[in-house]
Chains A and B, each alone.
Chain A
Amino acid sequence: MQELHYSRPTTVADAVVALARPDARVLAGGTDLIVQVRENRRQVAHVIDLKRIPELNAITRQADGGWRIGAAASVGRLGRDAAFAAEHHALLDSARLIGSLQIQNRASLGGNVCNAAPSADAVPLLICLGARGVVAGPGGRRTLPIVEIATGPGRSSLAAAEILVAIVVPAQTGRWAAKYLRFTPRREMDIAIAGVGVWLQLDQQSAITGAAITLASVAPTPLVAAAAQTLLVGERLSPKLIAAAAQSAADEARPISDTRGSADYRRQLVAVLTRRALEACAGELGIHGT
């Protein structure tokens, strides 16, 4: 069995240097990586533990009202930040669908993004909220929208020696609400057959000024339902509008059939979940009769 070397850098710069080896992998929560390494599904000779780098563990509210979440901060720690939990309960609820409490006490939002599973539960709302990733590599730092990180199942646009340092959730303005809903055969400890994240922003007259819909488990990556978003903006929520957006999202989905569900079933789930998520946002925003 291949030996595994463990290192624990305390700066991003040291981590980037350590990651230059082709057989190195970064370790955050480890809930995916440790299983893959121990079952010999992934050939790794060096694990670089990011949890002792202060910047990767910090959860801070920025001066402009946005949040900067260290890529290795656990979901459990995020939930214990009362100010974050109050403002971003929808995002937190989606992250709390990841495994059990034991898993959440290790697993990070950064890992959920970088593992690039189409079913990643915390990613749709990060995309809906306009979150960006701060990435460090040998050439310095860059930021990119979270939606541009996953390129396929388990594949990301990050270069081999790049590290996701933080996720920045921009300040949300006006009247807004978000909701992620998924369907799983079991309520806990399961992988979504389909998931839908919705974000809505309204003006004082309750016209929709912003809408975002991102689908999970129905494409090789989290999928933005752009046509459904366009249908909503400028309109007022009504049962008819919600039905049209839900149908559009279902049409935009590109699901496959596998052991967990057929493509047709997944499409129907997208329609139902989109409708329910929009209704949930409407309810939170005090709009009734939808």
Chain B
Amino acid sequence: MKIVVTLDVNGEPRQALADGRDTLLQLVRDQLGLTGTKEGCSNGNCGACTVLLDGEPVCACLVLAAEAQGAHVTTIEGVAVGNALHPVQAALIKFGGTQCGFCTPGVVLSAVALLDRVAVPSDADIRYAIAGNICRCTGYGKIVEAIQAVATSRQEASR
């Protein structure tokens, strides 16, 4: 039995047919073709499939597609504005916070959610916010520096 799921993805109304067992991850990648969201462990440990569900980071592999009925979902494809990268994306490039890139979409969304919620995150806040995003390349130092730099420049801009 297929379910019609109607939801808002990156600010656009979308509709997709999902199986009862399908996850939000499958809906986003296979039905909507938004393959920036990555499948890693499929059990909530790695964070590669992180998307924002009604503004909060979640593992898309742990949400049934049917549960997303009426939800607002932000994927990595939705964070840039036109051709301008989101400041978090730009900072990750500048600071070398991305290597193989597989964890990067999830890291970006976790960081975007943190910066939306906390004006001046501490080093510990940043590390806790990305604790669910496993990165095997960078050692995290450069990712933390990049997120810190975005927070600092945002603070300076608001003065």
**Segment of B59-67, B84-92, B149-157 engaged in the interface with chain A:** B59-67
Q: Smallest CB-CB separation from B51: which chain A residue?
A: A102
Q: Smallest CB-CB separation from B114: which chain A residue?
A: A101
- We find that the number of chain B residues with CB closer than 8 angstroms to chain A is 31
A21 to chain B, nearest CB (A): 14
Q: Which of B1, B23, B53, B128 contacts A101 (CB 8 A)?
A: B128
Q: Are B62 and A189 in contact (CB under 8 A)?
A: no
Q: Could you tell me the distance between the alpha carbons of A99 and B86 in the complex, rounded to whole angstroms?
A: 27
What chain B residues lie within 8 Å of A106 (beta carbons)? 58-59, 62-63
Binary per-residue interface labels of chain B (94-113) against chain A in the complex, 1 for a CB within 8 Å, 0 otherwise: 00000000000000001001
B134 to chain A, nearest CB (A): 8
Q: Could you tell me the distance between the alpha carbons of A51 and B43 in the complex, rounded to whole angstroms?
A: 21
Using C-beta atoms within 8 Å of the partner chain, give the interface range for chain A.
20 to 34
Q: Smallest CB-CB separation from B52: which chain A residue?
A: A105
B129 interface residue, CB < 8 Å from A?
A: yes
Given contacts A5-B1, A35-B43, A103-B132, contact A49 B20 (CB under 8 A): no
A260 interface residue, CB < 8 Å from B?
A: no
Q: Are A100 and B47 in contact (CB under 8 A)?
A: yes
Give residues in B with beta carbon < 8 Å to A: 1, 3, 19-21, 23, 42-45, 47, 50, 53, 56-59, 61-64, 66-67, 69, 110, 113, 128-129, 131-133
22 contacts between A and B (CB under 8 A): A1-B21, A3-B1, A4-B20, A5-B1, A6-B20, A6-B64, A29-B62, A30-B67, A31-B62, A35-B42, A35-B44, A39-B43, A49-B64, A100-B132, A102-B50, A102-B58, A102-B132, A103-B62, A105-B56, A106-B59, A106-B62, A189-B131
